[in-house]
């Protein structure tokens, strides 16, 4: 593969086939001798995005130690300090140290980065992607990311905060500029009708998933401002999000493939054809 190509972005709505596609691309590259690292949605070790990470400022960290004095030593051993930002991987801590106080974990979760004010989120995530780009440029691994490039910023800016669409678009283009030296490629899974896609996704996932995404997208941010409710409100939100994503793709400063879903064999052939044309192996 071209040495410069070190990042592949796989995007699309829930149930569109992102995970299957990311894993297929990784397998295709590995069979051709390319070292890959796949990071799916929810990966706690994501190198460019934040997953279940809390960020406190100096005063909040001081207050946390005062609230949990018995755990102060443990907190000091786990914190990652960058200037006035104090980071805790709270879900990782929960999994690694099951004896931890639920109250402490709940206190950390209140500072979840995806619950912070939009401006602080913007600053932290921009810096994270910039650092990742520097790290990846110095290595020989091709990273494959699922959903964190378009989905997560749009979910935060619109779903959580009802920021202007232009602000979300501008931020994503900032991220694109930050990683452009990695010669990225994008794949966007477009399975067709949003309602049908979400219905199928809901049928294959736990009811708790559907309850959560409906509440997240209709009880705060843009969905609440529009008065969208229930499953119908969720459909409206995702129709809006997909339209924004499709409009953004041509603006990205690197090439990609829009996969209009027919069947997996046909999709696979299209993806393979694109990879063969785009990558020199």
Residue-wise pLDDT for 61-95, tens only, equals 999 999 999 999 999 999 999 999 999 999 999 99
Cα distance between residue 231 and residue 191, in whole Å: 19
User: What per-residue confidence (pLDDT) applies to 120?
Assistant: 97
The model scores a pTM over 0.85: yes
- Each residue of 39-54: pLDDT tens digit? 999 999 999 999 999 9
Q: For the chain, how big is the Rg over CA atoms in Å?
A: 20
Cα distance between residue 39 and residue 144, in whole Å: 6
- Each residue of 2-11: pLDDT tens digit? 447 899 999 9
Pair type for strands 80-82 and 85-88: antiparallel
Cα distance between residue 15 and residue 7, in whole Å: 22
Contact 175, 153 (CB under 8 A): yes
Contact 261, 189 (CB under 8 A): yes
Provide the 3-class DSSP secondary structure of residue 147. coil
User: Does 280 score more than 80 pLDDT?
Assistant: no
Domain boundaries, the chain: 7-49+116-278, 54-111
Cα distance between residue 49 and residue 114, in whole Å: 10
Q: Pick from 86, 81, 89, 6: which is nearest to 45 by CA? A: 89
The top-level CATH class assigned to 7-49+116-278 is alpha beta
Query: Which residue stretches of 97-192 are H helix?
Result: 102-109, 118-137, 151-154, 165-179
User: Does 182 score more than 50 pLDDT?
Assistant: yes
């Amino acid at each position: 593969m071209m040495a410069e190509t070190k990042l592949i972005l796989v995007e699309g709505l829930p149930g569109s086939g992102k995970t299957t596609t990311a894993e297929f691309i990784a397998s295709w590259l590995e069979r051709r001798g390319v070292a890959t690292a796949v990071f799916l949605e929810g990966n706690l070790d994501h190198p460019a995005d934040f997953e279940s990470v809390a960020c406190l400022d100096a005063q909040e960290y001081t207050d946390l130690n005062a609230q949990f004095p018995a755990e102060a030593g443990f907190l000091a051993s786990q914190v990652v300090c960058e200037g006035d930002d104090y980071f805790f991987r709270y879900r990782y801590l929960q999994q690694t140290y099951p004896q931890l106080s639920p109250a402490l974990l709940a206190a950390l979760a209140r500072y979840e980065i995806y619950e912070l004010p939009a401006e602080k989120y913007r600053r932290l995530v921009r810096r994270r992607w910039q650092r990742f780009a520097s790290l990846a440029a110095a290595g020989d691994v091709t990273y494959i990311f699922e959903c964190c490039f378009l989905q997560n910023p749009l979910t935060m800016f619109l779903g959580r905060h009802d920021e202007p669409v232009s602000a979300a678009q501008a931020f994503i283009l900032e991220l694109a500029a930050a990683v452009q030296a990695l010669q990225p490629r994008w794949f966007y899974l477009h399975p067709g009708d949003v309602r049908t896609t979400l219905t199928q996704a809901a049928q294959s996932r736990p009811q708790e998933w559907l309850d959560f995404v409906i509440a997240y997208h209709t009880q705060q941010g843009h969905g609440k401002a529009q008065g969208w409710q229930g499953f119908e409100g969720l459909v409206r939100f995702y129709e809006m999000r997909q339209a924004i994503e499709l409009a953004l793709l041509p603006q990205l400063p690197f090439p990609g493939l829009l996969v209009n879903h027919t069947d997996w064999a046909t999709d696979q052939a299209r993806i393979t054809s694109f990879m063969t044309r785009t990558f020199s192996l």
